[in-house]
Every structure is written in C-alpha cells, then in structure tokens.
C-alpha cells in the first residue's frame, strides 16, 4: 500500500472524428499525498485533457485514474468528493454572490446550512474576500475571481486540488499571491496537481514535475533532478557568422576538457559544460578561429530541459 | 482508503440527495431574487391576449364579428373558455423554455458556469433531472398565476368544471415536467448564439399549432392538420388542461392525452439528458 493519492495508469484519450486526435497517449503518473505536482508542457500537450479525465469531466478512451482509491470512471459522482477543481476559465456562478458561491458549493457536498455558513466565513477570511462577500462575481478582478475559485474548490475539503493553468491571465502580483495560496494549502495537507507552461512557476512551486508533450510524459522527477539530468552546469550558445561550417568547430569543442556535449542549433552550436575556471575563455578562443559572432551563457533550467527533450521552445 | 464504499447504497443515496437538495436551494435562491421579472414574464402574454381578444374586441362596434369568439361561440361557450386551458399550457411550456433552455444556452456558452454544479457529487443525469424538476415547479406556479387571469378578465363567463382533481393534477404535473424536458432538449441541442432563433423556429410554431387558441376536436374539417399536430407536445398539454378544466368544449380522449404526455415526456427527457451529458462530458 502506497500513499499515492492520484494514480493514473495507461491513460489514453482519442477524440474521434474525421481526423482523430490523440490528446493523451499512454500516461502513467503517481502523485503522493501532500505533494505539489506539476504537469509542464506547451499548449496542446495533453495537460488539460489529463486533468479533465482525472476530474471526471472527460471520459478516457482507455486506462484508469484513481483518486484517493476511487476509480473516477466507474464512480465519478463519489470521486468528486475527493476532488477540487479550478479550471482555466472562470466558472463562478454569476447568479449568486461571492459568499453564496462558496455556501452553495458546501451544500452540494452535503454540509448542513450552519456548517456551510461557518465554512464560508472561514474561507472568505482566509482568502481575504470578506469585504466582497455580497458582491457578484462579475465585479471581481481576475486575481480576486481566481482566489474565489480556489476557495470554492477546497470548500468541501477535497484530498486533491487540481489547478489548470492557474496563472493564465493573472498579473505578476496576483500570480505571486496565488503561489502563496497554493503553498499554504499544501501546508494544510491538500495534495495539489497543477498544469502550467510557465517553467518559473513549475520550478518555484512544484515538488515533482512531469514534462508532457504530444500526450506523453517525456521525463518525470523533482525540478532539481530534471535540471541535473541535462548533463552540464553551464550552457554556452555560440552564434557563428558562418553557421554552415561548424562541423570542425564541433569536433574541436568535443575534445575540450570540461565540455560534456555539443549540439548544433540554428545559427551555431550549443555547448553543455561543467562549471570550470577558464573554460569559457577557452571555448571563446577556439570559436573565434571559426568566426564567433556572439555568445550567451545560461544555467540549465526547466526551459532548457524541455528544449533538449523536444527540440522546441516551451512557448511555441 | 476512502470511507465511502461505492457499494453502500444508503450512503450513496444520502450523498446524492443532499447534493440534489443543494441544487434545488440554489435555484430557489436565484428565482426568489428574480421573482418580479418572473411574474411579469409569466403574466404579460396571457394578460394582453385576454384583454384584447376577450375584453376589448367584444366591446368594439362590430368587434364581436371580428373576434374569434364569433365562430367558437356558436357552441355556446365563449372564446375565454377556449383560451383558459390554452394560455395555461403556453405559460407552462414557456416557463420550461425560460427556466431551462435560456439559462443553459448561457451556461454552456462563454461562461461555463454550469461546471461547479456538474462537479457536485451527483450523477450527471440527476443534475439534468434537477433542472427539469425545478423548471416544473415554476411551470406549476405559472399555470396557477394564469388561471385567475383567464377566469376573470373575459367579458363573457368562462365555464370551468373539474370532474376529476386527480386527472387535473396528473395533467399539470406531467405537462410541467414535459415543458422542462423540452427546455432541456432545446437548451442542449442549440448552439448558444442561435438561442434567439428558437422563438421564431420553435416556440411560435408549436404555440400556434398547439391547439392553444382552438380545441383539437374543432380541427375535424382539416383532417391533415388534425393528425399533423399530433407530433406537437403542446397539443397534449392544452388538450389535457381542456379535458380537465373546460370539458364542455369537447376535447381529445383522456387516454390519448395521458399517452401523449407520458410518451413525449419520456422521449424528451431521454434526448435532453443525452444532450446534457454530451455537452458536459468530452
């Protein structure tokens, strides 16, 4: 018996039609209780579909998802008691006030009226929405609406909170406030699964990550493990004046002590290297002979991990 | 492991019924806030209809001949007697559309605000059923509102005779549920931006061809039409109320009425729930 609270195995989702689209193509995933787990990938990678299936809003073609031990496909209504969802779009009930949005949510999940009122007041306080309790959702700013959506989603004390692109459309300040709220929820013992295509968000928030592309998990691990897996402490990107003639430079660099790998990129080469005194100067000296135009140095981050895995930029 | 064993039926029933009750309370709160627009929406059409056709026209010079009363009144009953069940049926039908189809079109459209209710611990079919049932309650309220209007406004007496309260109750409940199911079917099968067209394409034709302004039996000289309108669920609503409230005018046999109401209720509930599921789940 493990303490995995989300267990996804062999998950596939094919949207039928003239040109069938495989949105999720064999995903296996385990999220341990109390973790913040991130699904990182570009738009259209299958993150939202995976979350939709896990939260009973889409039916998988094959495979299974268990949330807190309950099969979401076989028992969707019961599984929803363990699930909190904040979708990408604002789904607040516009016919009800801010307080009623939370209060009715509590009633849907079986609380008595008194309990629901108490829980609503606590959450309004916790999410600093008390002064807007009687307002209607249409009048809230994006950041406030997001906070209300999170407050409502956890009102029934779910085991897992799913956040789909939680920072989409938020200003930087609201985004940081949202990160704090998420960390506080984890401290309260709620497991969090979120999707994002912002690597800083994944890096900052998540204990573990799965990088997803074309419906498949490319790599899985903690942000530090993923960065370490890239095989270098420094990345040098060399832009050459004559990009066509880099083969010789490539082999020269490969032989250089401290360089772990060299790969061609458009307009030049990418060099992964160990952190070593004098190595940068040495690389520049060699590259100069071949017409070095520009050099940039970075440290590996999740973005470079993604680029290394897919050859594409995350935002493409 | 979760405490809830999926097979414990009594626990499940408790969870579901609380969620269902929560949805009803939410709808009740929203309706109570919009009670004035609700009353205006329900009363305006029958009020003006009755005022013009059963009060103003009979008082006009030669108006009596212009009025549809002239023809129907040959049987001894006024046009008001024809209109009473008809306008109640329209109010019931229209409440179903206004309570289910119009909000659903909005909720499935840009706002997706149905999501939180779909995510409550209740099977999706039961969420749809709650829509039908809550709409039926509004329809019953609407019918109760229209009755006094249709009884007191006409200048000639309206002949109401209830032979069986059971039959009347059954017709009102079935017609109201049917209206909700019709609203669900329309709301889930029409694209949100086309919802405005629904009035022209669906509501107006089924009203005018729904034996609202004339009894079905009076169509006996237009046999093709008399059979043609049988595919219109409104016919069974207005004929049902006619049989229950104003039987003196002549009406469709009670058994056919019940058969039509139950048949269309089953069909539209099935279709509406299927549409709801398809719109909610991907």
Domain ranges of chain A: 4-92+140-227, 231-299
The HSE-up count of residue B166 (CA atoms within 13 Å, CB side) is: 1
Task: State the count of interchain CB pairs (< 8 A) between A and B.
Answer: 104
Q: Are B102 and B187 in contact (CB under 8 A)?
A: yes
Is pLDDT above 80 for A313?
A: no
> pLDDT category, B70, cuts 50, 70, 90?
low
pLDDT of amino acid A289: 86
pLDDT of amino acid A86: 93
Mean pLDDT of B19-31: 94
In a domain, B211, yes or no: yes
Chain B residues with CB under 8 Å of A110 CB are 14-15, 18-19, 22, 121
Is pLDDT above 60 for B4?
A: no
Is pLDDT above 70 for A1?
A: no
Chain A residues with CB under 8 Å of B120 CB are 80, 105, 108-109
> pLDDT category, A206, cuts 50, 70, 90?
very high
In a domain, B27, yes or no: yes
Cβ neighbours of A101 (radius 10 Å): 27
Least confidently predicted of A92-96, B63-67, B149-153, B178-182:
B63-67
DSSP alpha helix (H) spans, B51-164: 63-66, 69-72, 79-96, 102-108, 115-118, 124-152
Q: In chain A, what percentage of residues exceed pLDDT 70?
A: 97
Mean pLDDT of B65-73: 53
Between residues A309 and A213, which one has the greater pLDDT? A213
Q: Please write the tens of the pLDDT for every residue from B193-242.
A: 888 888 888 888 999 998 888 888 888 889 899 888 899 999 999 999 99
In a domain, B132, yes or no: yes
Is pLDDT above 80 for B80?
A: yes
Picking from B233, B259, B224, B258, the residue whose alpha carbon sits closest to that of residue B243 is B258
> pLDDT category, A268, cuts 50, 70, 90?
confident
pLDDT of amino acid A267: 83
In a domain, B1, yes or no: no
pLDDT of amino acid B66: 56
What mean pLDDT is reported for chain A? 88
| Least Cα separation, residue A73 to chain B (angstroms) | 12
| Least Cα separation, residue B133 to chain A (angstroms) | 17
Per the CB < 8 Å rule, is A91 touching B282? no
In a domain, B4, yes or no: no
Q: What angle do CA A158, A161, A163 make, to 5 degrees?
A: 155
Number of domains in chain B: 1
Interface probe, candidates B3, B102, B116, B123, chain A, greatest A C-beta count within 10 A: B116
Is pLDDT above 70 for B62?
A: no
Q: Are A72 and A63 in contact (CB under 8 A)?
A: no
Nearest residue in A to B9, CA atom: A78
Phi, psi of A211, deg, nearest 5:
-90, 125
Domains A4-92+140-227 and A231-299 share a fold: no
Chain A residues with CB under 8 Å of B116 CB are 91-93, 101, 105, 108, 152
Per the CB < 8 Å rule, is A91 touching B16? no
> pLDDT category, B1, cuts 50, 70, 90?
very low
Q: Give CA–CA dist A85/A98, Å, rounded.
A: 17
Secondary-structure class of domain A4-92+140-227 per CATH: alpha beta
> pLDDT category, B5, cuts 50, 70, 90?
low
Mean pLDDT of A37-64: 91
CATH number of A231-299: 3.30.70.920
Instruction: Please give the DSSP secondary-structure letter assigned to residue A132.
Output: G
pLDDT of amino acid B27: 93
| Least Cα separation, residue A93 to chain B (angstroms) | 5
> pLDDT category, B270, cuts 50, 70, 90?
very high
Chain B residues with CB under 8 Å of A107 CB are 18, 21-22, 25-26
Per the CB < 8 Å rule, is A76 touching B1? no
pLDDT of amino acid B73: 47
Task: Report the DSSP beta bridge partners of residue A65.
Answer: A8
Q: Give CA–CA dist A131/B188, Å, rounded.
A: 37
Boundaries of domain holding B100: 9-280
Interface probe, candidates B9, B14, B119, B127, chain A, greatest A C-beta count within 10 A: B119
Highest mean pLDDT among B56-60, B156-160, B211-215: B211-215
In a domain, B181, yes or no: yes
pLDDT of amino acid B259: 94
Least confidently predicted of A78-82, A151-155, A305-309, B134-138:
A305-309
Chain B residues with CB under 8 Å of A77 CB are 12, 15-16, 121-123
Chain B residues with CB under 8 Å of A104 CB are 22, 25-26, 29
- What spatial distance separates the first Cα and last Cα of chain A, rounded to whole Å? 41
In a domain, B3, yes or no: no
In a domain, B129, yes or no: yes
Q: Give CA–CA dist B93/B135, Å, rounded.
A: 10
pLDDT of amino acid A137: 93
Per the CB < 8 Å rule, is B2 touching A68? yes
Mean pLDDT of B17-42: 92
Interface probe, candidates B21, B113, B117, B128, chain A, greatest A C-beta count within 10 A: B113
């Amino acid at each position: 018996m493990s303490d995995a609270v989300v267990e996804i195995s062999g998950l596939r989702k094919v949207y039928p039609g003239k040109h069938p689209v495989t949105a999720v193509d064999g995903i296996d995933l385990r999220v341990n209780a109390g973790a913040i787990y991130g699904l990182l990938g570009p738009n259209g990678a299958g993150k939202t579909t995976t979350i939709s299936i896990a939260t009973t809003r889409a039916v998988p073609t094959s495979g299974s998802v268990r949330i807190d031990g309950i099969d979401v496909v076989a028992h969707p209504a019961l599984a929803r008691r363990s699930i909190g969802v904040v979708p990408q779009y604002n789904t607040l009930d516009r016919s009800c006030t801010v307080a009623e949005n939370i209060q009715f949510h509590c009633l849907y999940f079986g609380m008595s009226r008194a309990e629901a009122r108490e829980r609503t007041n606590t959450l309004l306080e916790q999410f600093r929405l008390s002064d807007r309790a009687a307002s209607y959702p249409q009048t809230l700013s994006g950041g406030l609406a997001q906070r209300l959506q999170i407050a409502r989603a956890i009102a029934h004390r779910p085991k897992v909170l799913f956040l789909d692109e939680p920072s989409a459309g938020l200003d930087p300040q609201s985004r940081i406030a949202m990160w704090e709220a998420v960390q506080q929820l984890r401290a309260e013992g709620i497991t969090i699964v979120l999707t994002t295509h912002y690597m800083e968000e994944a890096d900052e928030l998540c204990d573990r990550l799965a990088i997803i592309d074309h419906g498949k998990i490319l790599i899985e691990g903690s942000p530090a493990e993923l960065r370490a897996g890239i095989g270098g402490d420094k990345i040098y990107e060399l832009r050459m004046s004559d990009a066509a003639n880099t083969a010789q430079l490539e082999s020269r660099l490969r032989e250089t002590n401290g360089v772990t790998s060299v790969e061609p990129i458009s307009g030049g080469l990418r060099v992964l290297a160990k952190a070593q005194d004098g190595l940068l100067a040495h690389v520049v000296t060699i590259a100069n002979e071949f017409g070095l135009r520009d050099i940039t140095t970075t440290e590996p981050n999740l973005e470079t991990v993604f680029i290394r895995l897919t050859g594409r930029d995350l935002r493409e | 492991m979760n405490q809830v064993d999926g097979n414990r039926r009594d626990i499940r029933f408790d969870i579901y019924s609380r969620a269902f009750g929560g949805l009803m309370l939410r709808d009740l709160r929203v309706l109570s806030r919009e009670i004035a627009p609700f009353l205006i929406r329900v009363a305006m059409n029958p009020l003006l209809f009755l005022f013009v056709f059963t009060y103003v026209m009979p008082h006009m010079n030669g108006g009596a001949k212009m009025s549809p009363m002239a023809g129907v009144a040959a049987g001894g009953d006024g046009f008001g007697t024809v209109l009473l069940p008809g306008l109640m049926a329209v109010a019931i039908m229209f409440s179903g559309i206004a309570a289910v189809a119009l909000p659903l079109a909005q909720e499935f459209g840009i706002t997706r605000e149905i999501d939180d209710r779909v995510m409550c611990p209740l099977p999706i079919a039961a969420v749809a059923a709650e829509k039908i049932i809550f709409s039926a309650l509004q329809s019953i309220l609407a019918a109760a509102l229209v009755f006094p209007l249709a009884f007191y406004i006409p200048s000639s007496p309206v002949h109401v005779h209830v032979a069986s309260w059971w039959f009347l109750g059954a017709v009102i409940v079935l017609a109201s549920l049917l209206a909700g199911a019709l609203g669900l079917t329309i709301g889930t099968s029409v694209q949100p931006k086309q919802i405005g067209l629904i009035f022209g394409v669906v509501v107006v034709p089924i009203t005018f061809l729904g034996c609202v302004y004339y009894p079905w039996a009076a169509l006996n000289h237009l046999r093709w039409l008399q059979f043609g309108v049988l595919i219109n669920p409104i016919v069974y609503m207005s004929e049902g109320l006619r049989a229950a409230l104003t039987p003196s005018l002549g009406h469709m046999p009670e058994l056919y009425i019940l058969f039509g109401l139950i048949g269309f209720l089953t069909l539209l509930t099935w279709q509406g729930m299927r549409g709801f599921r398809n719109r909610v789940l991907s």
